[in-house]
Amino acid sequence: MLKGFQSFRDWFAGFEANYTIIGGTACDLLMSDYDLDFRATKDIDLVLILEELTPEFSRRFWDYIQDAGYEHRDKSSGKSQFYRFSKPKNGDYPAMIELFSRRTERILLPEEAVLTPIPIEEEVSSLSAILLDEMYYQFLRKGSIVIDGVAILDTPYLIPFKMKAWLDLTKRRVKGENIDSKNIRKHKNDVFRMSTLLGGETVLPAKGAIKKDIEEFLLKMGDEGLDVKQLGLRRTKKEMIDRLRRCYLSGEGE
């Protein structure tokens, strides 16, 4: 389990409607619910649900950051809005928290909050860019559930975000951006790990841009290598791709 998870859960009990956790921490919680192991993760990716966001949550969040003693407190300066807090002085807190919002004016931080601009070469986050898309944001809102006292994105909703992140990072690397291949590969591996949690009857027909992204991802996976043994997977790559097709592409979207 993520170091610092308990402090986060305790601090934000009762505020589950204000946010949704995505990324590796969500994957870890979902797989742990089935007594399955997931790769180590050190950060929490937190998406604000603007329609539910309260001033009380904003104050609580800043108090949490202060109590943790995060040495680095950074804010993006571009269109993609996110905050990054890292290197806590208190070891009972997560090593890093990334907070994503579609509109920064809804984040009510106190006047004494000093934030450092994130360097432009580090600024672009695949997740924050995805959340600027209205369809993906509404898709996320539909998929939030509460597990172990925190709000996270449920498995069938989380997988398309991982697919989209892989597509975006791959395209950026092709264009010459300095993208770590390990970061790209982890999203691909997470898709196949998480696919094992899809029940046989789980069907979530995709539509629009999300459907196109899923189709593109699955098409590209035909030529992608995947070490199923190393990942501890019992199905073949083809079997998992077929399962994902049945889940998302078997009918018309909502």
pLDDT in tens, 177-194: 888 888 899 999 999 999
Per-residue confidence band for 106, with pLDDT thresholds at 50, 70 and 90: low
Q: What does each C-alpha distance from 47 to 171, 174, 181, 182 come to in angstroms? A: 24, 28, 25, 23
Q: What is the pLDDT, as a whole number, of residue 115?
A: 61
The CATH code for residues 1-153 is 3.30.460
Are the C-beta atoms of 7 and 93 separated by less than 8 Å?
yes
Q: What angle do CA 121, 124, 126 make, to 5 degrees?
A: 140
Q: How many helices and strands, by DSSP H and E, does the chain display?
A: 10, 8
Cα(99)–Cα(106) distance, rounded to whole angstroms?
12
Q: What does each C-alpha distance from 163 to 45, 83, 141, 171 come to in angstroms? A: 16, 23, 18, 13
Q: What DSSP designation does 165 have?
A: H
Q: What is the pLDDT, as a whole number, of residue 123?
A: 43
Per-residue confidence band for 239, with pLDDT thresholds at 50, 70 and 90: very high
Lowest-pLDDT range of 9-13, 65-69, 124-128, 142-146? 124-128
Are the C-beta atoms of 82 and 137 separated by less than 8 Å?
no
Each domain of the chain, given as residue ranges in start order, spans: 1-153, 155-254
Q: What is the pLDDT, as a whole number, of residue 232?
A: 86
Helix runs in the chain, H state only: 5-11, 23-32, 55-68, 120-123, 126-131, 134-142, 155-174, 181-195, 208-221, 237-248
* Structure token digits, residue 200: 């046989």
For the entire predicted model, the pTM comes to 0.90
* Structure token digits, residue 187: 């999203």
Q: How far is CA 74 from the centre of its chain?
A: 19
| pLDDT tens digits, one per residue of 114-167 | 565 555 444 455 666 788 789 999 999 999 999 999 999 999 999 999 999 999
Cα(25)–Cα(41) distance, rounded to whole angstroms?
7
